[in-house]
Amino acid sequence: MIKMTRVDHRLLHGQVAFTWIKAVGADCILIANDAVAKDELRMAVLKMAKPQGTKLVMKSVDDSIKALISGVTDKYNLFIITESIEDVWRLCRAVPQIREVNIGGVKPEDGKRQISKAVFVSDEECARIRDLVDDGVHVFVQMTPSDESDEAMKLIG
């Protein structure tokens, strides 16, 4: 069962590894990202950040989609993390069970505007968020479980 799907450019770090995992009751983390799936060093670093007693799986977005659709992940209380809005958009388009997306952190880059403390979006990312909302996915911005959540559509205008 998918407990939460989150966009966070830092992927797995203390905030995710401890507060969110506990808050949503997850026992397995799926990092869905093409670059990580090809990078042994990044995978090794992420494994060190994994909370004890929690399974960690790192796959490309396409392989994540296949796993989610096949049902092999159904036995877990799954916390899915993507590095980008594009990655989560790809997941949501292919996996109808994902009905909610938390945007926790998107790094600043040229051509992006700040919509919350830790979220910076481009026009293309705003369009992806609108697509998700139009498809009935609840998209919200929230850094930690104790923070107030904001509707993404309200923030992007």
Phi-psi region of 11 (alpha: psi -120 to 50; beta: other; left: phi over 0): left
Closest CA to 143 of 4, 7, 3, 2: 7
**Catalytic residue (one of 9, 10, 13, 42):** 13
13 a catalytic residue: yes
Three-state secondary structure string covering 40-63: HHHHHHHHHHCCCCCEEEEECHHH
The residues that are catalytic are 13
